[in-house]
Amino acid sequence: MTAYLFIVLLGAQAQEPYPLMAVLERGDPVFDSQQEAVRLFYRQFSAGEELPELTLYEYRLQPKDTLFGLAARLSVPYAAIATVNRLQSTDLPEAGETILLPSIPGVFVPLFPETDLELVIHDLRRDEVAVIVPVDTPAGPVMFRFFPGSDFLGEERSTYLGVLFRPPLRTIELSSPFGPRNHPVTGEWGFHAGVDLVSTTGAPVLAARSGTVQATGTDPVMGNYVLLKHSGGFTTFYGHLDTIRVSLNDPVRSGMMIGTVGSTGVTTGSHLHFEIRQNNDPRDPVKLLP
């Protein structure tokens, strides 16, 4: 059962505008206020006392600003800045644009997640107690679940840094990309929902991410296969295997051997058919692999 703590922090109530932090230096009253809030937070957090209220500030980006630099100056994890601004990567918006800065550390995820990162955070923290805060973002008002004092979990950090998945083979040679193509055996025009990776029979096939085994079996076209389930609605599929080394519901670690490359099913030679899907929608693996 999902457990949400529906409390709105008064300091995070929608304001128009939020206090402007002109510079990230001592002497700026807003910056000084944020630094005092951080010190108070860590002191009360470690003592198990009631936490200070969350306040959000506006800040106009300067040309030399970086996400990690802002986090260091504010004494908060970069996860707090990234999630409240719904950043898709470590790149900040253009200089001159305004972002939000939090008074205390924590991780934000919308009640209605949309991005890969938000879906992963939502899934991994589904049963955690959260504080509900309304935020006026540049794109409009958003209701967030806020986890005070938290930082990215391992999978969340990997997702944000663009390394959510690892290659399923130790050496990658692409023979057929994702998208429309003529089938190499039948010649029929169709949509290739994954990629084909050439390798030798018996080469180890590795789990592209931690998860659980959702299915294994043999298909007339895909041959021996393994289907893994991951957080955030993601699944990965491994087809044409020679051998399968895992069983239904087994937990798997990223990089763990789950089978070996083969040519079972309908193939022109030994290779791995690899798919990444999110909520059953196929995604191009090339864009998700490091």
Q: pLDDT confidence of 49, banded at 50, 70, 90?
A: confident
User: Does 134 have pLDDT greater than 50?
Assistant: yes
User: Does 1 have pLDDT greater than 50?
Assistant: no
Q: What average pLDDT does this structure show over 177-195? A: 79
Q: pLDDT confidence of 16, banded at 50, 70, 90?
A: low
pLDDT in tens, 94-123: 999 999 999 999 999 999 999 989 999 999
Q: Is residue 125 within 8 Å of residue 234, measured between CB atoms?
A: no
Residue 190 pLDDT = 73
Average pLDDT score over the chain: 90
User: Does 5 have pLDDT greater than 60?
Assistant: no
Residue from 37, 81, 38, 40 nearest 58 by CA? 81
What is the spatial distance between Cα 246 and Cα 206, in angstroms, rounded to a whole number?
11
What is the spatial distance between Cα 224 and Cα 80, in angstroms, rounded to a whole number?
43
Beta strand 189-192 pairing with 234-244? unpaired
Question: What is the percent of the chain with per-residue pLDDT over 90, rounded to a whole number?
Answer: 74
Bond preceding residue 17 cis, omega within 30 of 0: yes
pTM of the model: 0.77
* Residue 200 amino acid letter: T
Q: Is residue 243 within 8 Å of residue 258, measured between CB atoms?
A: no
Residue 186 pLDDT = 65
Q: pLDDT confidence of 138, banded at 50, 70, 90?
A: confident
List the CATH code of the domain at 174-288: 2.70.70.10
Domain boundaries, the chain: 10-160, 174-288
Kind and range of the H or E element at 164? none
Look at 77-91, 159-173, 196-210 and tell me which has the smallest mean pLDDT. 159-173
Q: Is residue 57 within 8 Å of residue 19, measured between CB atoms?
A: yes
Residue 274 DSSP SS3: strand
pLDDT in tens, 213-258: 999 999 999 999 999 999 889 999 999 999 999 999 999 999 999 9
